[in-house]
Amino acid sequence: MRQQLLARIHNRSAVVAVIGLGYVGLPLAVAFAEKGFAVVGIDVDAVKVAALERGESYVQDIPAARLRGVLPRLAATTDYSALERCDAAIICVPTPLNKTRDPDVRYVIAAGESVARYLHPGMLVVLESTTYPGTTEELLLPMLTARSTLERLQVDSFEVGKDFFLAFSPERIDPGNKQWTVENTPKVVGGITLACREVAAALYGTIIERIVPVSSTQAAEMVKLLENTFRAVNIALVNEVAIMCDKLGLDVWEVIEAAATKPYGFMKFTPGPGVGGHCIPLDPHYLSWKLKTLNYNARFIQLAGEINTEMPRWWVDKVVDALNEAGKPVKGSRVLVLGVAYKKDVDDVRESPALDIIELLRQKGAEVRYHDPYVPAIRHNAFALVSETDLGAALDAADCVVVVTDHSWYDWPAIRVRAKAIVDTRHVTCTNRINS
Ligand code: SAJ
């Protein structure tokens, strides 16, 4: 089986399925199709599938022209039975947190169940979704080797590493990043067996310059969690340094810029309004949850989460101070939030701290408006707002402006001049101190 699959990979006759056509799956599917593979893109969202079939892309990193360049070699469908003719299935579905901030692996389970229905001898299955160490071996593998699979295939045994192959390879897609792409970002791969790792590495090696093999699927799952926990903890550290500098009467931005001149042993992170996005606020909780099941409390992750989620409140206090300076109570004051996306130059508001800042200001009775060139409307808990259309008028009407997302689109010097008062969480209006 292994030799046959390797041969089909090497001569590009293997049919590759990508399950989940979002910001991770679609670029991966396009990359395989551009290398000459027949690719089946599977997604439960018929709207996405229809758009792709029309040659319309909904992922900013895949322009429509690039998508059209691989049609019809890339075929999109909602029908999992297409897996019957696929040699590999790569699962790229979301792994969010549920209401109690615990891992929600329902999409991985649903994809695993669908793959199990069509799994056949000689097939490779890879999980890319960020998840806790052990998911591939403890959750996915049993689904694929369940009795129902053996009965359907009418076999007595269906052995991983021999009859089919299973690996984990974390996604490292950074939306909007022009420098690091699917093709040139090193890819970590861990297999349930060495043969599993070999075939997964061979497949990815056809589109990615550097493959980084590790000893197990658990190691590969842990690599990704270390990458994103590293960021969450360092962002929290620099946020706490910002609070410390504020109490010391120091300019944290000056301190960071000077520290960043150290040519070794330092990595620059910047304070902000909090941490948004679908990776950094969530991924570390997959790790701390797993360690809790082993009676260990991952304190850095806990503390980083506390500090990062506390930042919106800390910044709202700065708005209160700024209005106070102007002799205005928060209640009834007009506050304009500039930028609600979770980071600059993207349109994604998932977990954005801007939503918390707006909610906290509204709870204090402020009249909050926002402007964001990428985000026409937002809805969060008890409020729904649309972006101001006339930025100048919105600036003139505001008693205080809060810079939350430092989109390149803005003319910051002009904003600084026009605003009556500014609280700048991103230090882009060149205000010397973090709280002015
Ligand atoms: N943030 C700060 N200070 C910083 C860096 C980030 O406050 O110094 C905030 C951002 O404003 C944002 C949040 O943290 O709200 C997350 O920012 P991010 O730069 O980590 O961006 P993400 O969420 O898009 O993270 C993705 C991740 N990519 C993958 O998971 C494949 C992450 O691993 C990447 O390192 C990151 O992009 C990146 O470097 O751009």
Structural contact between residues 133 and 175, judged by C-beta atoms closer than 8 angstroms: no
Q: Is the CB of 277 under 6 A from ligand 1?
A: yes
The response to whether residue 235 sits with its C-beta less than 6 Å from ligand 1 reads yes
Same domain membership, residue 294 and residue 175? no
Q: pLDDT tens digit string along 292-341?
A: 999 999 999 999 999 999 999 999 999 999 999 999 999 999 999 999 99
- Ligand 1 pocket member 272 (CB < 6 A): yes
Atom of ligand 1 nearest to the CA of 346: 24
How do residues 50-86 score in pLDDT, each as one tens digit?
999 999 999 989 999 999 999 999 999 999 999 999 9
Distances (CA, A) of 277 to 86, 174, 271, 313: 33, 11, 16, 18
Supply φ then ψ for residue 431, to 5 degrees. Answer: -75, 140
Q: Is 234's C-beta closer than 6 angstroms to any atom of ligand 1?
A: no
Token readout for 263 is: 């040519």
Same domain, 201 and 291: no
Give CA angle at 43 (81, 376), nearest 5°.
Answer: 165
Does one domain contain both 355 and 206? Answer: no
- Average pLDDT of the residues in 38-50: 97
Q: Using N-to-C axis directions, what is the helix angle for 283-292 and 299-325, rounded to 10°?
A: 140
- Give the DSSP per-residue string, 127-193: E-S---TTIIIIIIHHHHTSHHHHHHHT-S---BTTTBEEEE------TT-SSS-TTTS-EEEEESS
Which residue has its alpha carbon closest to ligand 1 atom 26? 174
Q: Is the CB of 318 under 6 A from ligand 1?
A: no
Q: Which of 171, 174, 223 to mutate to test the pocket of ligand 1 (most atoms within 8 A of CB)?
A: 174
pTM, rounded to two decimals: 0.93
One domain for residues 387 and 260: yes
Say yes or no: 158 and 89 in one domain.
Answer: yes
Q: Cα of 39 to ligand 1 centre, how many Å?
A: 30
Q: What is the dihedral of CA 394, 397, 401, 407, to 10 degrees?
A: 10
Is 150 in the same domain as 282? no
- Give residue 340's domain range: 237-424
Percent of the chain surpassing pLDDT 70: 99
Verify that 168 and 277 share a domain, yes or no. no
Is residue 153 included in any domain, yes or no?
yes
- Pocket of ligand 1 contains residue 270 by CB under 6 Å: yes
State how far the Cα of 260 lies from the Cα of 294, in Å rounded to an integer.
Answer: 38
Task: List phi, psi (to 5°) of 15.
Answer: -100, 125
Res. 197: pLDDT tops 70: yes
- Name the H helices within 249-268: 252-259
Can you give the pLDDT at residue 303? 97
Ligand 1 atom, smallest distance to 344 CA: 11
CA of 220 to the centre of ligand 1 (A): 20
Given the CA of residue 269, which atom of ligand 1 is nearest to it? 8
Q: Is 34 in the pocket of ligand 1 (CB under 6 A)?
A: no
377: in domain:
yes
Round to whole Å and give the CA distance between 341 and 91.
Answer: 27
Q: What pLDDT, in 10s, does the model give residues 89-117? A: 999 999 999 988 899 999 999 999 999 99
Are 387 and 328 found together in one domain?
Answer: yes
Complete DSSP assignment for 203-253: HHHTT-S-EEEES-HHHHHHHHHHHHHHHHHHHHHHHHHHHHHHHHT--HH
CB of residue 280 inside a 6 A radius of ligand 1: yes
- Separation of CA 280 and ligand 1 centre (Å): 6
Q: Whose CA is nearest to atom 28 of ligand 1?
A: 174
- Please give the positions annotated as active site: 279
pLDDT above 70: residue 392: yes
Using the mean position of ligand 1's atoms as its centre, give its distance from the Cα of residue 355 in Å. Answer: 17
Q: Would you place residue 382 in the very low, low, confident or very high pLDDT band (cuts 50, 70, 90)?
A: confident
Does a structural domain hold residue 323? yes
- Pick from 270, 429, 276, 428: nearest CA to 346: 276
Same domain? For 34 and 92 the reply is yes
| DSSP of 80-114 | GGGGGG-SEEEE-----B-TTS-B--HHHHHHHHH
10 Å CB burial of residue 63 (0-12, 13-18, 19+) is exposed
* 435 has a pLDDT exceeding 60: no
Q: Is residue 231 part of a domain?
A: no
pLDDT band at residue 431 using 50, 70 and 90 as cut-offs: low
339 inside domain? yes
Which atom number of ligand 1 is nearest to the Cα of residue 283? 30
227 CB less than 6 Å from ligand 1? yes
Which ligand 1 atom sits nearest the alpha carbon of residue 268?
8
Position in ligand 1 atom list of the atom nearest CA 343: 11
Q: Residue 138 is part of a domain; what is its CATH number?
A: 3.40.50.720
**327 alpha carbon – ligand 1 mean position (Å):** 37
Percent of the chain with pLDDT over 90: 95
Into how many domains does the chain fold?
2
Based on the fold, state whether residues 260 and 386 are members of the same structural domain: yes
398: pLDDT strictly greater than 80: yes
24, 237, 280: which to mutate for ligand 1, most atoms within 8 A of CB?
280
Interval 407-428: pLDDT, tens:
999 999 999 999 999 999 999 9
Ligand 1 pocket test, pick from 225, 231, 240, 407 with the greatest ligand atom count within 8 Å of Cβ, gives 231
Shared domain for 195 and 249, answered yes or no, is no
The CB of 190 under 6 Å from ligand 1? The reply is no
Is residue 18 within 8 Å of residue 32, measured between CB atoms?
A: yes
**220-263 confidence digits (pLDDT tens):** 999 999 999 999 999 999 999 999 999 999 999 999 999 999 99
